[in-house]
Amino acid sequence: MALVRTLSLRAATLLGVLLTVLVLLVVTLGSTGFSDRILTAVINEEIRALRTAQATQARDTDALEEALEVRRQELIEFYDLDKAWWERMPATVFRVITLDLGEARTLRSSEGSRRVSDIVLERLPNTAILLTTSLVITAVIGLAVGVKMATRVGTRLDRTVSFGAAISFALPAWWTGILLILLLSFQFNILPSGGMFSTPPPEGDIARFFDLLKHAILPIITLVLVSVGPYLYAVRTMTLNVAQEDHVLVARAKGLAESAVMRQHILRVAAPPIVTGLILSLVGSLGGSILVETVFNWNGMGRLYFEAVAGTPDEGLIVALTFIFTLMYVVARFVLEVLYLLLDPRVRYSG
């Protein structure tokens, strides 16, 4: 029962996060007058379009102006612009939290739908491909090299890799991407500089798959380069910490083989924080995807966010997307909690 209690407590906190972020967004938009400005601009735009359309037919300009004024009032009422922002707020919060994300003003999905949820569902898999692939590669390299380093602390290998990890941490993902484009795409012309498919995309599913793969190489290398350093360094430190516990000494004294000591007595104990580190780096690259996808013109969630904020900001879309980002973040965190419980018996039993 303790397990359920712990988990539901975490779930409640994470729900709290979602709600807090949402309220923060809406309050910021409302209290700064940003929301009013955007809505007014939308209405003005609509009225202007209407006037241009009607001007050729209508003879009586006074009547036209009157009709437009009536329409304007309708729109103001429709958008609730006649109410103060705090009166509009609860409805917005409720709408978004029930995943009714509304419609985008200019962005469309490839099938032409303007519903934000359609657009998000179309872009989400593209981001997932990038993030999960690079996560798996990071995990494999990080575990292999990190554990190796921990067994050879102070050697030249350890120092070199530590230094490399520092560089990896200091590298901004987007600049690494630019560097790779400059080198592999511009200088040597081996790989495409951006986009997800060649233009025109090749015929056939297999050809398309390899085309996608070719376009994904640079973004994935970029993501791995910037996340692997901190991760393998963390693995090294955590393994090292456990390796000096008394129970490891006992295991060695029993005459267990070094590989068995490493597997059963060191890594088993270090597993929870190692997994935590991995998920945290995934969570970190969620935000980073905004930059990496912009650099590589990758049609994912990150670039969608960038498109929503660039130019005339689309208020509804920004709120919806920031919410979705937080949601992804929170879900990742919850998965982490569950994994932690599965891996660490102490948490499971003590409650």
Partner 1 sequence: MNATFSGAVRVLVGSSIGKAGLILLGFLVAVSVWVLVTYPLDFGTREWSNPAVWADNPKAVPPTWTNIFPGSDNVAHATLTTSEPYDVRTAGSVTAETYRLPLAHNFDGFPTFISFSLEPVTFQGRPPLITLTLERPDGGTVRLLQHVPSGGRDGETGPFVRYLDNPYRILLSTEETFRSALADYHNERYGTDLGERDLRGFGDQAAFGTPVAGDGAAFEPLQGEYTFVVTATFADENDSMEGAKVVIGGDVFGGMGSDSQGRDLFVGLLFGFPVALFIGLLASTLTTAIGASLGIMSGYLGGWVDTAIQRLADVVANVPLLPILIFMVIVLGSNLLLIILVLVAFSWPGLTILIRSMVLQLRSGQLVEATKALGASQRRVMIRHIFPQTAPYVFAQMIFFTPAAILAEAGLSFLGLGDPSIPTWGQILEQGFRTGAVYVGYWWWVLPPGLLIVLTAMAFVLLALAIEPVLNPRLRTMR
Which residue's entry shows tokens 């935000």? Answer: 287
Q: How far is CA 113 from CA 102, 120, 121, 265, 307, in A?
A: 11, 11, 11, 55, 16
* Cβ atoms 123, 301 nearer than 8 A: yes
Q: Which is nearer to partner 1, 41 or 310 (CB)?
A: 310
Q: Does 23 bind partner 1 (CB under 8 A)?
A: no
Q: Does 160 bind partner 1 (CB under 8 A)?
A: no
Return the ∠ at Cα 189 (arms to 187 and 193), rounded to 5°. Answer: 95
Q: How far is the CB of 133 from partner 1 (least distance, A)?
A: 21
Note the helical H segments in the chain.
Answer: 2-31, 34-55, 61-78, 85-97, 116-151, 156-170, 173-180, 205-243, 246-253, 258-260, 268-296, 301-309, 315-343, 345-350
**92, 127, 193, 239: residue in contact with partner 1 (rule CB under 8 A):** 193
**7, 107, 309, 341: residue in contact with partner 1 (rule CB under 8 A):** 309
Nearest CA to 245 out of 266, 268, 259 is that of 266
CA distance between the termini of the chain = 8
Q: Which is nearer to partner 1, 135 or 290 (CB)?
A: 290
Q: Which is nearer to partner 1, 6 or 162 (CB)?
A: 162
Q: Does 330 bind partner 1 (CB under 8 A)?
A: yes
Q: Does 157 bind partner 1 (CB under 8 A)?
A: no
Which residue's entry shows tokens 């103001």? Answer: 76
Q: How far is CA 238 from CA 166, 258, 335, in A?
A: 17, 18, 21
Q: Which is nearer to partner 1, 182 or 250 (CB)?
A: 182
Q: Does 170 bind partner 1 (CB under 8 A)?
A: yes
Q: Does 313 bind partner 1 (CB under 8 A)?
A: yes
**79, 85, 231, 305: residue in contact with partner 1 (rule CB under 8 A):** 305
Q: Which is nearer to partner 1, 33 or 204 (CB)?
A: 33
Q: Does 105 bind partner 1 (CB under 8 A)?
A: no
Nearest CA to 149 out of 240, 53, 51 is that of 240
* Cβ atoms 136, 227 nearer than 8 A: no
Q: Does 270 bind partner 1 (CB under 8 A)?
A: no
109: alpha, beta or left? (left if phi > 0; alpha if psi -120 to 50): beta
Q: What is the separation of C-alpha 192 from the centre of its chain, rounded to a whole number of angstroms?
A: 24
Q: Does 190 bind partner 1 (CB under 8 A)?
A: no
Q: How far is the CB of 128 from partner 1 (least distance, A)?
A: 16
**7, 212, 217, 286: residue in contact with partner 1 (rule CB under 8 A):** 286
Q: Does 269 bind partner 1 (CB under 8 A)?
A: no
Q: How far is the CB of 25 from partner 1 (least distance, A)?
A: 6
**Can you tell me whether residue 113 is helix, strand or coil?**
coil
Interface contacts to partner 1, rule CB under 8 A: 13-14, 16-17, 20-21, 24-25, 28-29, 32, 34, 153-154, 162-163, 166-167, 169-172, 174-175, 178-179, 181-182, 186-187, 193, 237, 240-241, 244, 283, 286-288, 290-291, 294-295, 305-306, 309-310, 313, 318, 321-322, 325-326, 329-330, 333
